[in-house]
Each structure stands twice: as structure tokens, then as C-alpha cells.
Amino acid sequence: MILRTIRIRDFRQLQGENLLSFASGAEGNVTVVLGENGSGKTTLLNAFAWCLYGEAQMENADELLNYHTLLEAKDGEKLQASVELSFESGGSHYTFLREQEYVKSDSAAVAKGKAHFAATVKGPSGETTSVNDPLTTVERLLPPNLSKFFFFRGEDVEALASHEAEKELREGVESFLALEMINRAGRHLKRVEKGLNKSLKEDARGELKSIQTKIEAVDADIEEATLKREEAEKEIAALKQHESRIDEQLAKFEDIRPKLDERKQLLGQRTELKRRKDQSESELLKVLSSDGFLAFADASLRRPEELADEAVTRGDLPARIKPQFVDDIIEKEVCICGVSITPDMRSSLLEWREISGLAALEESIGRMRGDVKGLRARRQQFDTDLTARKSAMDRLTLELHDLDERISRLNAEIGDPSGVPEIRKLQDRRREIHDQLGHVHTQLGRHQQYLDDLNKEKEEHIKERRSLQTLSDKERVLEHRIEVVRAVSKGFESLRAEWSEVIRGYINEDLNETWARIAQLERRLEFTAEYSLSMKERAGDRDRWVESAPSSANRRAMALAFISSLIRLAGEIAEEETPTGFFEGGDYPLVMDAPFATMDRYFKTQIPRGLAEVVPQIVLISSYDQFEGEVATEMGPRAGRWYVLELHRTDSQGKDLNIPLNGRTVPYVIGEQGAVTDWTVVKEISA
């Protein structure tokens, strides 16, 4: 979608017919529109959304007709507010026109008339035809939940970098793959499965009916548990949003801004240090559970050796006669010399038999010495391992304690009531929210575990039903249909998750490349698995990156980098063969109202320059005050079209105002004597 023209007639602040042609390509890819506050900058931005979708985010959305035109009209006169937008996409030229008719009744009253929305398309052949379904065509070219990424106000785009924007970012990513179609199909299949289960239960008897009753009960529990999980997720999002707003309020206190950044880094370091400490503690416990008993076995390991040494001293060891030798003589009753054994001799042999038993003991002692030697080696290794693990544990505990003290000191400094009382209140509230988040996260984990258990239980019931041998033909058909529906539903769920993750991974990879081109600042951006944007800075040792609390300027720059990555992705999608009805991709513009308002001089230099290099087409809507200086220096040379929103206001509101532009002075604000309302007309300024 490359914009060509927009024609606006009596739409809100813009009076009469106003035509803007947009720069692109070789003539420069930037169109600059400058206007004073109240001149209709946001009106111009909303004109795009109203033309394409019939709605826009604006106060008094029903009051579309320009008030000055209404006052000038005669009673009974027909009036019209309209916006016509033309652009190119996929080799075709589209023109969309939305009109709203009015009739002036009396004084300043007006009655709504007919509304009209139409579109034409000129194909590559040059033939122009009417579009049968303009709304469907718009949604194919630019889905509504994607338009917010390409047409936006500065404060709105900044919000994309906050935690509460997860839902918007997820929807935006899903729009690229038309995943809502898959979501709808999945929801429909669940309803079909529920209906088939109900039909199967109605005619069921005996064991089948019992199983179906159990499945029905589990389904009800799953539905209830899913709602609780979703409620917990919503509560977490709301708490994160509140936490983010508190951080934004704290960030306004410039005195504590460095401390907030330092605390963010320290909290990241603490998370990593706590993980290492827990791992060290686990290793220490493993050593103790395996060989800890040896610490109390020194005496036990020494005593067998002492007893053996005492036996040697007494002369009992080593044994001189083996027991088996004596046993053989007694059994045969003949000595080895051939003499028969007498009763007296037998008594003597039995005495020797007692002494010869020490040989078995000697063998046991030999084995015992080998075992004790192994245990002593384990004892020495245990001492070594225990010392190393305990030393590591003590060091990490000390580091964690020091880090906690630093965080505590920072918290005290940030929340010092003698400085700014509001900060202490914000800090206290932030701690409460942090505690609440921990509690709700625990609940969410329990809900998810319960859901997993319920799904396992349902699978067991289904497995039990599948094994039944008594199903009738009708019941078997219904059971088969349920299985088919479940298989397709699981396939959709898997496909959705995989596609969504592929796109998220692409954007995450592209994000830092885009950041390097448009910001040239040492930061790391991440598009997380939760579909939120985060920024990381180097830690003190320069080897690690920790999450930081980005300033307002950083958030805007981060969001612009994300949108630039989306635009690059849209370009790549256009190069692939896209099924009919899906998002077709292509080149897309950025239409921005005051995007650089909160940025410092560095960002006002780098971001405009980088965006103009990365984005195919830019329409910059800004006040002159925000444009002059760095933004003008970087974007001015790339501007192919220049416009001023010439504000005509009642003379009581101040003096006329002119601005220097392209080497001459042009009217910016004009006082109108006797006027009862103000209005704006668009004036093109040649380069």
C-alpha cells in the first residue's frame, strides 16, 4: 500500500475541499505536514481510518461535518463530509470513497442523511472497475487491527512498548497470517464436538452413558477452569499495566531516573544470582545426601584396624593353621603321618580348631581393609566436594546479601519521604502490586495445572469409550465423527501455535537489526514469548544484558523499530504466493502524528534518519516547533511534498503567525475578525 492522494471535504476541522498528494520513490519518500495545535493534525490522521473503516478514535465521533461550513450554509441546504483515499497495492490502483450526507435544518442544527462507501480498482491493464465488496477488500489489503501500526499518534505508538500492549501485539502478528480464521474454525469445531457428544449421550445406555456423563462433567469443569485462567491472565495484565503506569510516574522524577535504571539492572542481576544460588544449594544437598554419613564415620573406620593390630600384637594373627586342615584330620581320625587319632589327641585338635578359625577372620579383615580404604577415599573426596560447594554457596549468599542491601538502599533513596512524598506512595503501591502479581501468578499456575489434569482425565475417558465393544452402528459412527473433529481441532491448534511462533521469531530476530539501523544505540530489544517488547542494557561487568526500564523516548523508538520490522515482514509476505482472502502484504507507509515529541536531541537525529532509510513511505504530521531543528535536518532533504495546515481562528485567540519554510515565510495561523469558530485549510508549499 503506497499512498497516492487523499481528498478531504468538510471533515471535522478541515473546511472545504483539501487535496494532499504523497511523496514516494525517487522524488523522496517523506511527506511533511505542519500544523499548529488545534489545526487538525489528528483530524487528518483520523481521516484515513474513517475513510477505510467508517470509524476513528476521536471525541464526538458523530460530529463529522465541519462546523464553519455548517454555519455558512443556508437552512435546508444539503451538505456532505467526505474522504477519498487512493493508493497502490499489488500492481493495482485503488480508490476508496466514504461520504456522509447532512441537511441543515435551522440555525446550527443538522440532520444526517445517506451514508455512502464505494471503491474502484484500476488493474495493470489500465481498466477501472467497481469493487463489489469494498469492506472485504479493505480488510484483505489492510486488516483493521493492523492499521493501528501504520497510522498512529506518538502517544499511542509509545503504548505499544508497555506490558499491557501484549494483546494488541499478538493480534497484529496473528493478522499477518490470518490466524483469526483458524481461531474461528477452532471455536466452531469445539461447538461441533460438544453437540456430537450430546447426541451420543442421548441414545446411550449402560457403560457408554456413564462414560459420556463423565466426559460431559469434565467438559464443564474445563470450561469453568478456562474462564478462571483467563480471568487470572486479565488480572495479571491489569496489574502489569498499573505497575507500568507507576514506573512511568516514577520516571517523571528526573532526579531518580538513574536510580530506577540501576534498580532495574540490579533486580535482573538478583534473579540470575538467585538462580545460581539455588543451583549451588541443590548441588550441596546432593553431596550431603550421597556421602554425608561419612562425616560421622571416622571412629568406625579406625576401629577395625585397631582391633586387627591388637590381634597381631597378641600373636593371634596371622593365623598359622587353616580351619579346613584340622577338620579333615578329625573327620578321617588319622594324622597325616599315619597315626590314628586318640581321644586325647582329638581334644587337642579341637583346641587347635578354635585357634585356626582366626584364619577366616584374617581373610575377612583383608576384605574389610579394602572396603575401608575405598570409604576413606570417598571421605576425603566428600571433604573436598563439601568444602567447594559450601564455599560457592557462602560466596553466592554473600553476593546476594550485598545485592539485596544495594537494592534496599536504592528503594530507600527512591522512596525517601524527605525528598518527594509522592515517590514513597508510588513505591509502596508498586510493592503491593508486585506482591499481588506473585499471588495471581501462583493462582494462574494452579489453574493451568488443573486444566492439564482435567484434559488428561478426559483423554482417559475417551480411551475407555474407544475400547468399548458394545457400541451400536449409530454410536460407532458418532464416536468416529467426534474423533475426527478432535483430530482436526488439535491440528488447527498446532498450526496456529507454530505459525504464530514463526512470525514472532522472525520479528524478534529482525528487531535488533532494525534497531541498529534506526537508533544506532547499544541496546538489545526482544519480542518476548508473551508478545511484549522489552529492552536490555549491558550490566556493570559488560558481559551480561539485563532488562531496563526504558524512558518515554526509548519506548517510542522501540515501538517504531517494531513497526518497521512489521513493514519489512509485510514486504516479504508480498513476495510469497498468498491464498485468496489472506493478508497479501506489500509495501506500507507510516502515517505519524507527533512521533518524536518526547525524544531528546540524539533520538531526534537518529530515529527520523533511520526510519526514512527503512520505511518505503512516510507521512509526518507535526507542529513546526517539534519539526524544526534535528528532525527538519534529517527528514527535510528526503521530503518530496510539503503541506501546512493553515489555521483560521477567531481574532480573540491571538496574533497571526508565520513560519519560515523552504526559504520563504508562509502563513501558519490567521486571525479571522468576527468569526465565531475556527477552521483549517490545507496549503501545499513547493520545495
What is the pLDDT at residue 7?
A: 96
Cβ atoms of 182 and 492 closer than 8 Å: yes
Residue 148 and residue 95 share a domain = yes
- For the ranges 343-357, 368-382, 434-448, 514-528, the maximum mean pLDDT occurs at 434-448
* Gap between the Cα atoms of 333 and 349, Å rounded: 11
Q: Is residue 481 part of a domain?
A: yes
Which band of pLDDT confidence, cut at 50, 70 and 90, is reported for residue 438? Answer: confident
Tell me which of 18-27, 245-254, 513-522 is least confident: 245-254
Residue 627 and residue 517 share a domain = no
Q: Which residue has the higher pLDDT, 554 or 93?
A: 93
Residue 588 and residue 489 share a domain = no
Residue 40 and residue 10 share a domain = yes
Mean pLDDT of the region 439-461: 88
Q: Among 524, 504, 503, which residue's Cα sits nearest to residue 513?
A: 524
Q: Which residue has the higher pLDDT, 437 or 631?
A: 631
Mean pLDDT of the region 156-180: 70
Which band of pLDDT confidence, cut at 50, 70 and 90, is reported for residue 314? Answer: low
Count of CB atoms situated within 10 Å of the CB of 487: 11
Residue 212 and residue 115 share a domain = no
Q: What percent of the chain has pLDDT over 70?
A: 81
What share of residues in the chain are helix, strand, coil (percent, to 5)?
60, 20, 20
What is the pLDDT at residue 606?
A: 85
Q: Is residue 620 part of a domain?
A: yes
pLDDT at residue 588 is higher than 50: yes
Cβ atoms of 471 and 480 closer than 8 Å: no
What is the pLDDT at residue 418?
A: 42
Which band of pLDDT confidence, cut at 50, 70 and 90, is reported for residue 312? Answer: low
pLDDT at residue 336 is higher than 70: no
pLDDT at residue 229 is higher than 80: yes
* CA 433 vs CA 161, 255, 420: distances in Å: 20, 23, 21
Q: Is residue 266 part of a domain?
A: no
What is the pLDDT at residue 251?
A: 62
Copy the grid coordinates of residue 312.
Answer: 597381631
Mean pLDDT of the region 76-92: 90
Which CATH number belongs to the domain containing residue 69 in this structure?
3.40.50.300
Backbone angles phi, psi at 547, to 5 degrees: -65, 140
pLDDT at residue 98 is higher than 90: yes
What is the pLDDT at residue 619?
A: 94
Tell me which of 49-53, 347-351, 439-443, 643-647 is least confident: 347-351
pLDDT at residue 624 is higher than 60: yes
* Gap between the Cα atoms of 579 and 189, Å rounded: 22
pLDDT at residue 104 is higher than 90: no
Which band of pLDDT confidence, cut at 50, 70 and 90, is reported for residue 419? Answer: very low
Domain termination residue (choose one: 514, 533, 549): 549
Q: Is residue 322 part of a domain?
A: no
Tell me which of 342-346, 417-421, 511-515 is least confident: 417-421
* Gap between the Cα atoms of 617 and 1, Å rounded: 9
Residue 140 and residue 19 share a domain = yes
β-partners of residue 2 are 88
Helix H segments across 292-357?
298-314, 323-332, 343-356
pLDDT at residue 582 is higher than 70: no
Q: What is the pLDDT of residues 381-412, one digit of tens each?
A: 878 888 888 888 888 888 888 888 888 777 77
Q: What is the pLDDT of residues 453-491, one digit of tens each?
A: 898 888 888 888 888 878 788 888 888 888 888 888 887
Count of CB atoms situated within 10 Å of the CB of 628: 16
* CA 648 vs CA 66, 183, 684: distances in Å: 13, 50, 16
Residue 130 and residue 38 share a domain = yes
Mean pLDDT of the region 554-563: 82
Residue 154 and residue 6 share a domain = yes
Cβ atoms of 2 and 587 closer than 8 Å: yes
Q: Among 64, 70, 157, which residue's Cα sits nearest to residue 105?
A: 70
What is the pLDDT at residue 331?
A: 73
CA torsion through residues 189, 191, 193, 196, sign: negative
Which band of pLDDT confidence, cut at 50, 70 and 90, is reported for residue 366? Answer: low
* Gap between the Cα atoms of 607 and 599, Å rounded: 9
Domain termination residue (choose one: 549, 577, 612): 549
Place of cell 457428544: 197
Q: Is residue 361 part of a domain?
A: no
Mean pLDDT of the region 598-627: 87
Q: Which residue has the higher pLDDT, 370 or 121?
A: 121
Residue 136 and residue 217 share a domain = no
Residue 147 and residue 125 share a domain = yes
Q: Is residue 108 part of a domain?
A: yes
What is the pLDDT at residue 144?
A: 81
Tell me which of 155-169, 437-451, 589-603 is least confident: 155-169
Which band of pLDDT confidence, cut at 50, 70 and 90, is reported for residue 618? Answer: very high
The range of the structural domain enclosing residue 13 comes to 2-161+557-673
Q: How many folded domains does the chain comprise?
A: 2
Nearest-10 crossing angle of helices 421-466, 206-251: 160
Q: Among 7, 50, 67, which residue's Cα sits nearest to residue 680?
A: 67
Residue 132 and residue 63 share a domain = yes
Q: Is residue 332 part of a domain?
A: no
Q: Is residue 235 part of a domain?
A: yes
Q: Which residue has the higher pLDDT, 177 or 632?
A: 632
pLDDT at residue 560 is higher than 90: no
Mean pLDDT of the region 92-119: 85
pLDDT at residue 516 is higher than 50: yes
The 3-state secondary structure of 458-484 reads HHHHHHHHHCCCCCCHHHHHHHHHHHH
Q: Which residue has the higher pLDDT, 191 or 183?
A: 191
Q: By CB neighbour count within 10 A (0-12 exposed, 13-18 middle, 19+ buried), where does 442 fall?
A: exposed
Domain termination residue (choose one: 523, 549, 575): 549
pLDDT at residue 261 is higher than 90: no
What is the pLDDT at residue 317?
A: 54
Which CATH number belongs to the domain containing residue 511 in this structure?
1.10.287
Copy the grid coordinates of residue 157.
Answer: 505508538
Which band of pLDDT confidence, cut at 50, 70 and 90, is reported for residue 672? Answer: confident
Which residues contact residue 426 at a Cβ distance below 8 angstroms, ignoring those fewer than 6 apart?
Answer: 246, 249, 250, 415
Does residue 318 have a cis peptide bond before it, meaning omega lies within 30 degrees of 0? yes
Which band of pLDDT confidence, cut at 50, 70 and 90, is reported for residue 339? Answer: confident
Q: Which residue has the higher pLDDT, 652 or 566?
A: 566
Mean pLDDT of the region 96-102: 92
What is the pLDDT at residue 365?
A: 64
What is the pLDDT at residue 181?
A: 65
Report the side by side order of strands in the sheet with 533-538: 524-527, 533-538, 545-547
Residue 156 and residue 129 share a domain = yes
What is the pLDDT at residue 576?
A: 64
Q: Which residue has the higher pLDDT, 421 or 522?
A: 522
Mean pLDDT estimate for the chain: 80
Q: Which residue has the higher pLDDT, 274 or 70?
A: 70
* Gap between the Cα atoms of 644 and 669, Å rounded: 10
